[in-house]
């Protein structure tokens, strides 16, 4: 059974470790540089009144996933952007579903009308995940350069809260 709650300061290091494993493997996130717990703590503090963060914990209270929504400069004020990360080897076990349930409720509480998810076009797992939550395509970007220099296409999907 997965437990979902807002993160506490002590979670940031575990969240960074989980995300860095995903970044190292590559192919599913536009992030190409490792992050630190301090980075994540700063991101959580940024726009705190307009953002919501959740962690998923396993039975031993280990962080097995996290998700956040926050405003994005390329989106209108009634929309927020979402990012989702599940521990390598733990996808398809309901972690993302549990996180999204909490996140969608938080988006409504914060007054957002819709949630944007921008996913690499080659991230089939991410595309499937958001599609299964009810997100639908609304924008396509071709030839986006990542910080590493890699060029990818990105698909933006919309979920109406």
Contact 70, 51 (CB under 8 A): yes
Q: Mean of the pLDDT values across residues 47-53? A: 93
Q: Mean of the pLDDT values across residues 20-39? A: 81
The tally of CA atoms less than 13 A away on the side-chain side of residue 131 is: 10
* Mean predicted lDDT score pLDDT of the chain: 91
Query: What local confidence, expressed as pLDDT, does residue 27 receive?
Result: 58
141 CB-near residues (< 8 Å, 6+ apart): 118, 153, 154, 155, 156
CATH class of 3-115: alpha beta
Q: Mean of the pLDDT values across residues 57-77? A: 95
Cα-Cα end-to-end distance for the chain: 26
Structure tokens at 77: 């004020």
Query: What local confidence, expressed as pLDDT, does residue 37 receive?
Result: 94
- Per residue in 135-149, pLDDT (tens digit) is 999 999 999 988 778
pLDDT at 32 over 80: no
Q: Domain limits of the chain? A: 3-115
Structure tokens at 93: 């076990």
Percent of the chain with pLDDT strictly greater than 90: 73
Rounded to two decimals, the pTM is 0.90
């Amino acid at each position: 059974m997965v437990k979902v709650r807002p993160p506490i300061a002590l979670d940031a290091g575990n969240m960074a470790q989980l995300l860095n494993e995903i970044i190292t493997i590559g192919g599913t996130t536009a992030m190409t540089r490792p992050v630190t717990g301090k980075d994540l703590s700063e991101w959580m503090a940024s726009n705190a009144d307009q953002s919501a963060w959740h962690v998923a914990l396993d039975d031993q209270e280990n962080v097995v996933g996290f998700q956040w929504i926050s405003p994005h400069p390329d989106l209108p004020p009634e929309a927020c952007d979402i990012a989702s990360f599940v521990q390598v080897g733990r996808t398809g076990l309901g972690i993302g579903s549990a996180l999204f349930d909490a996140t969608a409720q938080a988006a409504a509480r914060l007054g957002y009308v819709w949630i944007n998810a921008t996913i690499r076009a080659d991230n089939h797992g991410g595309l499937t995940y958001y599609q299964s939550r009810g997100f639908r395509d609304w924008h396509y970007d071709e030839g986006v350069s990542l910080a590493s220099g890699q060029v990818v296409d990105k698909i933006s999907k919309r979920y109406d809260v």
